[in-house]
Every structure is written in structure tokens, then in C-alpha cells.
Amino acid sequence: MTSDESPSQTAQTAEAAGVRQSTQVAIIGAGPAGLLLGHILGQAGIDYCILEARDKEYVLGRIRAGVLEQDSVDLLAKYGLDADLKANGLTHHGIYLQHEGERHHIDFAELTGRTVTVYGQQALVHHLVAEHERLGSQLIFEATDVQPTQIESTETESTHDGDRASVAYTAPNGERITLDCDYIIGADGYHGVCRRTFPEGTLDVAERVYDFAWLGILADVAPSTDDLIYALHRDGFAMHSMRSSTVSRLYLQVSPDDDIANWSDERIWAALQTRLGTEGWTLTEGPITEKSILPMRSFVVSTLNYGRLYLVGDAGHIVPPTGAKGLNSAIADVALLAEALQAHYAGDDTGLEQYSDKALDRQWKVQHFSQWMTDMLHVHPADGSAEQTAFDFQRQLGQIRYVTSSHAAQVSLAEQYAGLPFVDAR
């Protein structure tokens, strides 16, 4: 990022719009998407600045999902961002699918030659922030009133030429800064500001809200399983994941309007024992260190691009957490957009022109998989009709019995869970 040093100009712009600075790419949001994009651009010699509304502690404290697809792992390795992942990530060869106390292993490595890595998003964010700090990157926390602006262009051909965009924000010291840039990247999540700056009529939203939610816990206890367990039970979905050899992560299907205060630690463990229990297997309990209820939605925008603004990650799409595709989708977008931006600065705009279509094409396949997993594994209380719920439950048992007995179905699950290939920007 460069400051405009000219005294007369500084005085002029200070009067009009506070301090004026410039960069090539302004990234809004320091979640995994924004942090990762910054690293890749920096390594390509592209100037960037990341503006994050929240403080560092908040960003580092957020607990999210924890499975990386093979391509996500490979991408982090390619850019030398995998030191902590290599030390603390747990390679998994498959998952267990369970119904009515029957547990089946789906072996991804055997079925597709691919594996996944269990590694908390929180650990990834910690590492990416630490690396930015080590490099002295332009990563600004507590940047408030962030306002992306671009000269509206009606043409499509020269979207990437001509006028620059800018992002105004208030720095932590109270100074109002206008950051001129070539491109604005909306990596600001579902609640972010960027998507809302698309002019009316340029962006539609496809959305589905679920009538169930997940109650998630972290517990200081060694996992009781080698691979993740996804279980359908009459009382609802349950899942056993992990963060390390001493920390377990577990989930329970609950009602979206349930209150975490209704769930004592004893009640949580009792529900987990019932829903995950199988003969001859023991779920070891331990102190719960975190518990919260997470809403679920599916959401996709009709385009990830308007003029000089591009959306990545949760700003453009959300999946329900079954299958852990949220973080991987964000990384897949970043891989594609980073390559397109590099090509742009080398004189080729094809990648930028195709970014939205290519990213959304992959995303809709991921939406299908996430919803398929979610529908298969949750009790559907939908319209309040007990008959419908009972019918669905039997149908879902049929589905799980099919998946766990058909080689073709297992290959399909494994291929999607271990991750569809990242798309090439060329």
C-alpha cells in the first residue's frame, strides 16, 4: 500500500475525503478467504490491503468446521502455508456412516485414492494471521464503516480497464482513509457489506433455510473414534469429529429456536450417547469447553462479480455444515480468483471474465452434495406431520443402506467428500 506523499494533493484530498492511499487489490474481510488471498497475491508481487471490521481476538476466537479437502491441503502446501497443518492436521482415510446403531466405514483412500485432513478452521486462521504479521502485511483490524465504491460501468467489455475503484474506511485511530485500488474483493462473509453494494437488479439470491440446527461442543477428551462418525438416529443427527488427539468436537441436531441454556453438559452427553451408541463401542465423555447452536442455510448468489468487485467465500455462498464444504468452497474460490488476478497483471483478463461462472459452476455441485448429505442424515420435522417424518425416516434408512452397500454410491460420496477438483482459471 502506498501513501500519496504530494503535500498539495494530500491537503486537497484530506479536506475532501481524509487521507488518500492506494493499493492494487483491496480485500474486505480477514476470514480464511481474505487472509489466504492476501498471501497468494503477495507472493505474486501484487500489492494488497486487508480490511477487517472486528478485532484480532474476535477473528482468532471463532470456531468453525474442521475438514480440508485434498486440493485445499495441496494449495496451502503450494504457497508454503502448511507448516502448522503438517504438524497438527490429522489425515483421515474415510468416514463412518451410521444408522440404527449400525456403523459402516467408507474408505475414501481405497475408493478414490484421496484423503481429507481434519484441521480446525480456527487453527488455519491463526496460522494465516501469524504469517501476515511475520511478513508485515497490510492487515488492518477494527477498520470500521468500510464503504466499497466503484464507478458504475454499464459496458461489459472494458470492465477491467478505465476507472479505478476505492474503499473508504475508518482506521482504528479514527482517521477516515480512502484506499484507491484496481479491484475490491468481498471476502466479508454472509453478513458483509460488499454483496449489498451490487446495484439493484444485478444480483439474485437462491436460498434455503432448514428447520433444524446443530448444537456443537468442544470437549477436552481424546476422540473415541479414528474417523469421523455421521449418524442418523430417530432423535436426530449426531456426529463425532475431533481437533487433536486430546480434543473432541461433537454435534447434535436440535431445533433452530432451541436455547443453549436448555442443554446442560449432562443432557448433551446423554443425547450423544443415545444417538452415537453402538454395541461394543464406548463414547468417552470429558469436560465441555465450548458449546453453541449454529443455524443452517443454503445460499448462493447469481453472480460473484460486478465491475471491479469480486465476491469470494461466504460472501457469495453458504452450505449447511454436513460434509464440511464451507471452508473448502472459500479456498476453491480464492485459488481461482488469485490465478485470474495474476493473469490480469500479466495482461490476460480471461480468468477474471470467467471467474464468476466457473466458481458458481463448482459451487452448485457442492451445494448439491451438502444438501444430499444433510437430507440423508437429519430427521425432518418439516411440516409438523408425523406421517411425513416417519416416511422420510424410512426412506433415509433405505438411502443409507444403499450407500453403504453399493460400490458406485460409495465412490460418488468419496469423490465429493474428498473434494471435487479445484477449477483452473485458464
Whether 377 and 95 have beta carbons less than 8 Å apart is answered as: no
Strand partners, 183: 25
Catalytic residue among 321, 344, 355, 378: 321
Catalytic residue among 127, 132, 240, 325: 325
Using CB distances below 5 to 8 A depending on partner kind, what does residue 241 bind out of ligand APR, ligand PHB, none?
ligand PHB
Considering only residues 53 through 92, tell me which ones interact with ligand PHB, judged by CB under 6 A.
65-67
Instruction: Give the range of 50-58, 156-164, 217-225, 372-380 binding ligand APR by CB under 6 A.
Output: 50-58
Catalytic residue among 183, 210, 230, 251: 230
Active site residue 127: no
Read out DSSP for 297-358? EEEEES-SEETTEEE-GGGTEE--STT--HHHHHHHHHHHHHHHHHHHHTT--HHHHHHHHH
Active site residue 230: yes
Distance of CA 389 to the CA centre of its chain: 31
Whether 278 and 103 have beta carbons less than 8 Å apart is answered as: yes
The distance of closest approach from Cβ of residue 318 to ligand APR in the complex, given in angstroms and rounded to an integer, is 7
- Give the integer Cα–Cα distance in Å for 365 and 337: 18
Considering only residues 327 through 386, tell me which ones interact with ligand PHB, judged by CB under 6 A.
none
Q: What three-state secondary structure class fits 102?
A: strand
CB proximity list for 370: less than 8 A, separation 6 or greater: 298, 319, 320, 322, 323, 325
216 binds ligand APR (CB under 6 A): no
The distance of closest approach from Cβ of residue 377 to ligand APR in the complex, given in angstroms and rounded to an integer, is 18
CB proximity list for 277: less than 8 A, separation 6 or greater: 101, 283
- Work out whether strand 183-186 and strand 309-311 pair parallel, antiparallel, or are unpaired: parallel
Active site residue 306: no
Our CA angle for 399, 405, 409, nearest 5°, is 65
Nine-digit cell string for 283: 463414547
CB proximity list for 211: less than 8 A, separation 6 or greater: 255, 256, 380, 381, 382
- Give the integer Cα–Cα distance in Å for 338 and 333: 8
326 binds ligand PHB (CB under 6 A): no
Using CB distances below 5 to 8 A depending on partner kind, what does residue 249 bind out of ligand PHB, ligand APR, none?
ligand PHB
Instruction: Give the range of 53-61, 68-76, 245-253, 289-297 binding ligand APR by CB under 6 A.
Output: 53-61
The distance of closest approach from Cβ of residue 366 to ligand PHB in the complex, given in angstroms and rounded to an integer, is 13
Using CB distances below 5 to 8 A depending on partner kind, what does residue 311 bind out of ligand PHB, ligand APR, none?
none
Active site residue 417: yes
For CA atoms 186, 190, 193, 194, the dihedral sign is positive
Using CB distances below 5 to 8 A depending on partner kind, what does residue 324 bind out of ligand APR, ligand PHB, none?
ligand PHB
Among 40, 75, 296, 324, binds ligand PHB (CB under 6 A): 324
Per-residue x/- mask for ligand APR, residues 16 to 35, rule CB under 6 A? ------------xxxxxxx-
Nine-digit cell string for 354: 470467467
Using CB distances below 5 to 8 A depending on partner kind, what does residue 323 bind out of ligand PHB, ligand APR, none?
ligand PHB
Using CB distances below 5 to 8 A depending on partner kind, what does residue 322 bind out of ligand PHB, ligand APR, none?
ligand PHB
Considering only residues 153 through 192, tell me which ones interact with ligand APR, judged by CB under 6 A.
187-189, 191-192
What number of chain residues touch ligand APR (CB under 6 A)? 29
The distance of closest approach from Cβ of residue 118 to ligand PHB in the complex, given in angstroms and rounded to an integer, is 6
Nine-digit cell string for 420: 471435487
Among 21, 121, 137, 253, binds ligand APR (CB under 6 A): 121
Four-CA torsion 258, 262, 265, 268, nearest 10 degrees: -40
Q: Judged by CB, which is closer to ligand APR: 52, or 180?
A: 52
69 binds ligand APR (CB under 6 A): no
Query: On the CB side of 275, how many CA atoms lie within 13 Å of its CA?
Result: 27
313 binds ligand APR (CB under 6 A): yes
Kindly tell me the burial class for residue 113, based on how many C-beta atoms sit within 10 Å of its own C-beta (0-12, 13-18, 19 or more). exposed
- Give the integer Cα–Cα distance in Å for 242 and 228: 8
Q: Judged by CB, which is closer to ligand APR: 128, or 413?
A: 128
Residue position matching grid coordinates 471467474: 355
Active site residue 321: yes
Chain residues that interact with ligand APR, rule: CB under 6 A: 28-34, 51-54, 59, 64-65, 121, 143, 146, 187-189, 191-193, 313-315, 326-327, 330
Chain residues that interact with ligand PHB, rule: CB under 6 A: 65-67, 228, 241, 249, 321-324
Instruction: Catalogue the active-site residues.
Output: 92, 230, 321, 325, 417
